[in-house]
Amino acid sequence: MSRVSAFIEGLCRAGAFLSAICMAAIVILIVVEIFLRMFFGFSTMVSSEFSGYLLVGLVAMSLGYTLQHEAHIRITLIWGVLPLKWKNRVDIAVAAVSAAVTGFALYHSVLLVQQTYSRGMTADSMSETPLWIPQTAIPVGLFLFLLQLVNFILRRVRQ
């Protein structure tokens, strides 16, 4: 069981690493754009468009990792005064419902990507980026999030 946890946490860390790369890429993209505009009067034409895609990737890929670090906020006003046993029970219930919601979102985000792909939808811009490419980050990220929620439950069941 703990090997499952370690595996899930490793996957989510890898996801977060990709997120950090997305973040760095946004900075570099914009700095290059400003540099080109200032000194050469030239624009890449894609910096604002790609920043949006990179933000989607950044957020999606790190949802699970953020849960792993207990960094998604929740109101623990009532939870905080419960005895440990009940804290665990409430956590499991809450995470189970959240996992169901994530599964639902995951299923429909796969449909969204499929639809975008089969209709050949592209961005309304110079680059005409096929939109299914950046959209794919959403189901992948939600899958990691789902795994991490399962891990969250497993850890509490074992206690």
Residues in contact with another protein by CB under 8 A are 16, 19-20, 23-24, 26-27, 30-31, 33-34, 48-49, 51-56, 58-60, 62-63, 65-67, 69, 71-79, 90-91, 94, 97-98, 101, 104-105, 107-109, 111-112, 134-135, 138
Which residue, 24, 143, 21, 11, is CA-closest to 65?
A: 11
How far apart are CB 27 and another protein at their closest, in Å? 5
Q: What's the min distance (Å) between Cβ of 7 and another protein? A: 20
Rounded Cα distance, 11 and 57, in Å: 15
Contact between 157 and 24 (Cβ < 8 Å): no
Contact (CB, 8 A) for 61 and 16 = yes
- Closer of 3 and 120 to another protein (Cβ): 120
Question: What's the rounded Cα separation, in Å, for the pair 153 and 95?
Answer: 7
Closer Cβ to another protein, 74 or 85, answer by number = 74
